[in-house]
Amino acid sequence: MPMLAELVDHVIGVDTHKHTNTAAIVSAATAAVIETTTAGTDPDGYQHLLSLAERSGGLRAWAIEGANGYGAGLTRFLVERGELVIELDRPQRAKRRHGAKSDPIDAVRAAREALSREHLSEPRAEGERAALSVRLAARRLAVDSGTDAQRQIHGLVVAAPERLREKLRNKTTSEMLQICARLRVDPRWDITTRETAQVLRCLARRAANLATEAREHERAIVEIIRSWRPDILTNCGVGPIVAATVLCAWSHPGRVRSDAAFAMIAGTAPIPASSGMTVRHRLNRSGDRRLNQAIHTVVVTRMRVDPETKIYVERRRAEGKTDREIKRCLKRYVTRQLFRQLESFTT
């Protein structure tokens, strides 16, 4: 893959924030700073940055930090106009010279970092991927909030007056939620019992509403996947949430250069940690942890229900491998399988 300096004349590094974007135009040949400017995060501000880049002439590329966060609006604006956009991840603080930091410095650093990279990353796609991402985030919040409400109910019941505790003693969480949601407050009760009962009822109904909301998001996720990439759901252990997580990380064909790169994104690529005569690998704790969790779910499910996976597990155990080592091998295999399926799909 050619270096970016061989493809363009200028690189515009952009340091993105909630209300402003700071851009620095850097010469691809010398890495010298030509001009810097700051503009707002609205169409007028985006046009100002583009007009500044056009005045520099020649071929150009944009290196944007947070292309799917604070820089999402600018990235969308540029891609729609045919601009070459490169996504940069969050900078490592230790690499900053003497700890120096300002928006123009960060913008210049973004441009120079893009020039030094051997492999460049495209921003994730809009359309179905973005829709899945929004639905996943909303469902995750609903599930987490519902779990918090359930924990609060359990905590309140521990110290609740006996009148309430006797109704909820030895009940499962589901039964406890149903009972709490139907609690009626007797005005003759003491104030502690009345207030505790009202809070328990409020929390139980909140948990029920959040569970309903989470199911609605999941139904929408299933519809998007079935209209976009229904083939991913045919894999053993891949449900709608796992499929959506994988699709959001992958985004579109060609964005990830190989299954090895996708494994690094997922944190399923073993990291060499050999020395001398010792050959070993270390657990990879980097990458997208939600994607890693999704692939872990696939592996655990296959180990439980898939006959071929069970045979593989028994064979590797006979070779002296531990269950943890076997899971690492399976996670790498599943990552490769999913990536190749995603890349080879044709409508």
pLDDT digits (tens, 9 = 90+) for 100-121: 678 889 899 999 988 888 788 8
How much is the mean pLDDT over the chain? 90
Q: Does the structure show a pLDDT above 60 at 98?
A: no
What pLDDT score does 279 carry?
61
Cα–Cα distance between 97 and 256 in angstroms, integer? 30
| Whether pLDDT at 91 is above 70 | no
The three state secondary structure string of 156-184 is HHHCCCHHHHHHHCCCCHHHHHHHHHCCC
Task: With cut-offs at 50, 70 and 90, classify the pLDDT of residue 57.
Answer: confident
What's this model's pTM, rounded to 2 decimal places? Answer: 0.84
- What span, in angstroms and rounded, lies between the C-alpha atoms of 215 and 181? 19
- The 10s digit of each residue's pLDDT in 217-252 is 999 999 999 999 999 999 999 999 999 999 999 999
CA distances 76 to 10, 73, 95, 126, 216, Å, are 20, 5, 29, 8, 28
pLDDT tops 80 at residue 265: yes
Compute the average pLDDT of residues 15-28. Answer: 93
Tokens representing 163 are: 């009148």
DSSP bridge pairs for 63? 13, 86
In terms of Cβ atoms closer than 10 Å to its own Cβ (0-12, 13-18, 19+), residue 332 is buried
Contact (Cβ atoms closer than 8 angstroms) between residue 124 and residue 249: no
Query: What percent of the chain is predicted at pLDDT more than 70?
Result: 93
Confidence at 6, pLDDT banded by 50, 70, 90: confident
The burial of 291, by beta-carbon neighbours within 10 Å (0-12 exposed, 13-18 middle, 19 or more buried), is given as buried
Predicted local confidence at residue 23, as pLDDT: 94
Q: Is 109 helix (H, G, I), strand (E, B) or coil?
A: helix
The two structure tokens encoding residue 253: 């064909």
Q: Is 91 helix (H, G, I), strand (E, B) or coil?
A: coil
**Taking the CB of residue 245, how many other CB atoms lie within 10 A of it?**
25
Scanning the chain, the segments in alpha helix (DSSP H) are: 43-56, 72-80, 103-116, 128-158, 162-168, 173-181, 191-228, 240-250, 259-266, 289-305, 307-318, 323-344
List C-alpha distances in Å: 223 to 131, 233, 241, 289, 305: 11, 12, 12, 25, 26
The string of pLDDT tens digits covering residues 167-220 is 998 899 999 999 999 999 999 999 999 999 999 999 999 999 999 999 999 999
- Give 346's pLDDT tier (boundaries 50, 70, 90): low
